[in-house]
Structure 1
């Protein structure tokens, strides 16, 4: 998922957006999966997910929790959409967890571990012997905000809707890779003559409480994928298609009250939500007030000063280095959480437009330190990255193809020689930046200066920040580098290479770019298939080998940094914990200290 899932990181990303046997009972099958799947085991970074198929609501109360009040969320970011089918940035996913329930869910518990738990479903699903068919039973009593019941048919429609990638761009694409007819079915909006319509062989609903999902190849990790809003129910009669993200029908503890794209989202309590059916969410506060497109320095100063309404405010944006003297060793440091994330931030290089020798020269020239400085980055906001996979990935192996540790200011003289040798001196590098963000503009200006010194021509395209994410995902854009990143959807490299480097996804998503480097190499696609078909315990080592090979042979991205999270919160906000998957606070646990 985009960082970011994907929120674009401040700094180098320049706020550009800124992963058994048949016949057993569901609980027995879940225990067998837990033993077999690397997703359920600790990673090198201590990251762990445990399956708990028996979890039931209500969720355990947070110590000291109180009810009432409003939590204000201040952020420089501006989500493009809240359509559950399209949601794939980590901030959007974090917000939707308050409003959209899914078949399964990830819950962060007091022991610091993540638990895969049932959400709308009664368990974690029952697979057949080879994991090509999964059956989910729905809980009783689940309703939408309007009081109407949630049905298996609504979930089936959501699944079908996720294949409409021409109309609903930017969402996750595992269904195209794994589900029956995933590469041919075009979703419910197209007629049958164009491989669309409501008749889809990959999903069945024997009754109102049973959902059957059919795979074209084994997908043992499906219960992790069903934590995504692709698997939140959408009644066909209520689907407004392109406008659905303006007010998606709520099943979670909160619902949309008002929404102004790029500016503000207000959530209020969903009275139809039943805590007895939900093992992973709370409904402590009366209201969430999300304020987007904020000035990054001003919002952080508000939280540092902690006056009036800012005492009940929080952000998920990283602290600017210029403000650290006001925080470290002082009271605000007690109101700052820091920790590692699950993402790697990249500069995606458009392989359709930029030859390999130019990509190598750009990597040699990349001015890491100057860009970090221009962005106000600090040791809390990034860790230098030289690999595609984040360090918390099972089987992670470190390497450094260019030998610079992703530090320093590049070697402009060497880069210029490389361009001359390739006959590409003056090659134009084109990117987009948010012109209503002073830091993004500053980073863009430094990038221009440094790359020109290395023999490149540059073109920086300004646009409002609420349009940047769409432009990064637009395959027809004139840009040829994209500052973005990728996060683990769950702890497995299966959520990285097939998701962003499988070239076959390009043709299946003509209006979006899950593969932002547009790499389409037959040997890479074949290797992705080979590794995906291996026993789960053999996959991590093979993904790690592919990681290094990708950088050495193709260089589709320049790894820049591993994500870290650090954020401030007001003195009257309680229940604050760092959710590594969200890259910020777990909103479902927050309360206001009265």
Structure 2
């Protein structure tokens, strides 16, 4: 089997954490919203206009080209899918639940076939019925080259998917998607995939009526299956105006509350301007939120002295890990004791300070995020405390043949961000110096940096990296990074250590057969702990997202799936 191209989105996430990961883009899972449901004692009511102020435009507003999490939940107001995320705070929000389908799907004995039945009474914005054929067509059009950009899983998972080019050229469909009747859809997979219910949350599973499909122009007025419809789409998502879909029925949709009558999304704004407008909360901005703009350390310090503002800060956690990566093909990182020495030498306290402080980053000693849905299993194979253990690091260096220390190069991005930028690199450099390790910093501009770390022939021996998952499970977290069959020689390779361990590969396959997601999570956690013994990376921290919302916004829900305020739950005065 050719290497999977799973999680191309994570590379995109690595290019724009604040937009994707912070929006979905996904540490204590029990503390996901600083202000709970909003104004105490006031039940949310329908009506009013909600404004969304964002930095990045909601471009390519076509279900074939989007991820469910894209745009901070905006797409899910228009596009319903077979399954969706549970719209609850914290850990409960990391669960997958039915949406258009009656359940999470019925697998066959080995999870290579999944069958879904649609609910009764589903209609589009024009009142016409939604059928299983519409969902099949929506998926098929996502394979067309002109509509690329969405999740890659279906090409990997569906029988025949790797060679399919969409329906536009010859009108052919995918034989691995069957629609025996208007309410039933069956998927035939190349291998067992117990997490198919998670995949069915992706926007590619949104129904598209073939008669209304006008290719690349469909994004201007996609046909809604959700509680809102697109009225205006200016400048490729720079401004979106959404109004109620009068044919949407809450009886078929337990997840989206759809309180506002109208939602206006304004993008392309400066981050400082967004936070200032939300802070002031005058006029329409009193009923405004952001789904992609974080508060920085200085802004948090100012807000901390103003209780009225502090009460309007939502705190979110998304499944993301920032870490030091090794390429064992490069000396001296082929020596496990050198990698272990670095793990002991790292001062996580200084790294977290560089990342904005404890309010914006939480220390990590596991590769998996600290959330139950991922299968988080606590371990610390190289306990260095908060500030590092220089003595233990020196001891290991001596055993490795470097009694007088060594000199290495750390590659990082020159972009001034708190995850992979110069500040974090300098903090690592200073910590390793105490252990006798001289670190030379190699800063690369963002494009060159990403090309280096994801290209096998260019992968540095030691670099800063990060990883986020498309859904809250250990599968899309561990498999792309540690499955040897996913090493890509000529393309984007995420297995930085080029680990190809038969036992690891086999365990990944065995977990993928499980349809009991709780049992699978336990196995992912155990596998994380086992891989961690090899010191192929040094987990540093998990980011925390802090975002303001307007003074007239109520019913704040922030789940561990997305890490951002869920606008399908928001009400305004």
Q: Structure 2 length as normaliser, TM-score?
A: 0.74
Q: For 1:466-481, what aligned pairs fall within 5 Å after superposition?
A: 475=455, 480=460, 481=463
Match of 2:382 in 1: 402
1:100 paired residue among 79, 95, 117: 79
Post-superposition Cα deviations, 1:546-582, rounded to whole Å, max 9, x if no partner, equal 2122222261x43222354432211111222222211
Do the aligned partners of residues 416 and 109 (structure 1) sit closer, same or farther apart at CA in structure 2, a change above 3 Å counting?
closer
2-structure distance, mates of 1:366, 1:244: 50
1-structure distance, mates of 2:384, 2:19: 24
Instruction: Give the Å deviation of 1:71.
Output: 1.7
Post-superposition Cα deviations, 1:323-361, rounded to whole Å, max 9, x if no partner, equal 33433362112212335x351322373748756447667
Match of 1:205 in 2: 179
Equivalenced residue count is 532
Matched, 1:462 2:470: no
2:365 paired residue among 375, 386, 400: 386
Alignment partner of 2:372: what SS? coil
Post-superposition Cα deviations, 1:510-537, rounded to whole Å, max 9, x if no partner, equal 6555657665444422221134346847
Instruction: Give the Å deviation of 1:433.
Output: 5.3
Structure 2 residue ranges without an equivalent (≥5) = 1-6, 23-27, 32-41, 431-436
Q: Which moved more, 1:409-418 or 1:378-387?
A: 409-418
CA contact (8 A) 1:314 1:570 kept: yes
2-structure distance, mates of 1:90, 1:79: 11
Match of 1:311 in 2: 286
Match of 1:576 in 2: 556
Instruction: Give the Å deviation of 1:101.
Output: 0.6
Instruction: Give the Å deviation of 1:141.
Output: 5.3
Match of 1:22 in 2: none
Alignment partner of 1:310: what SS? helix
Match of 2:4 in 1: none
CA contact (8 A) 2:124 2:130 kept: yes
1:484 paired residue among 466, 474, 478: 466
Q: Which moved more, 1:283-292 or 1:204-213?
A: 283-292
Matched, 1:125 2:105: yes
Do the aligned partners of residues 171 and 484 (structure 1) sit closer, same or farther apart at CA in structure 2, a change above 3 Å counting?
farther
CA contact (8 A) 2:141 2:168 kept: no
User: How well do the aligned residues superpose, as a CA RMSD in angstroms?
Assistant: 4.9
CA contact (8 A) 2:114 2:187 kept: yes
Post-superposition Cα deviations, 1:164-199, rounded to whole Å, max 9, x if no partner, equal 79983562527725x4456xx33324999xxx9945
Instruction: Give the Å deviation of 1:384.
Output: 0.9
CA contact (8 A) 1:304 1:326 kept: no
Match of 1:225 in 2: 199
2-structure distance, mates of 1:191, 1:505: 30
CA contact (8 A) 1:71 1:289 kept: yes
Do the aligned partners of residues 278 and 383 (structure 1) sit closer, same or farther apart at CA in structure 2, a change above 3 Å counting?
same
CA contact (8 A) 1:170 1:512 kept: no
Structure 1 residue ranges without an equivalent (≥5) = 19-43, 48-61
Instruction: Give the Å deviation of 1:403.
Output: 1.6
1:590 paired residue among 541, 550, 570: 570
Match of 1:347 in 2: 323
Alignment partner of 1:101: what SS? coil
Alignment partner of 2:73: what SS? helix
2-structure distance, mates of 1:45, 1:215: 33
Match of 2:257 in 1: 282
CA contact (8 A) 1:5 1:89 kept: no
Match of 1:58 in 2: none
Match of 1:525 in 2: 505
2-structure distance, mates of 1:433, 1:590: 37
Q: Structure 1 length as normaliser, TM-score?
A: 0.72
Match of 2:36 in 1: none
1:322 paired residue among 286, 298, 310: 298
Do the aligned partners of residues 545 and 105 (structure 1) sit closer, same or farther apart at CA in structure 2, a change above 3 Å counting?
closer
1:337 paired residue among 307, 310, 314: 314
Match of 2:35 in 1: none
Instruction: Give the Å deviation of 1:588.
Output: 0.3
Matched, 1:266 2:240: yes
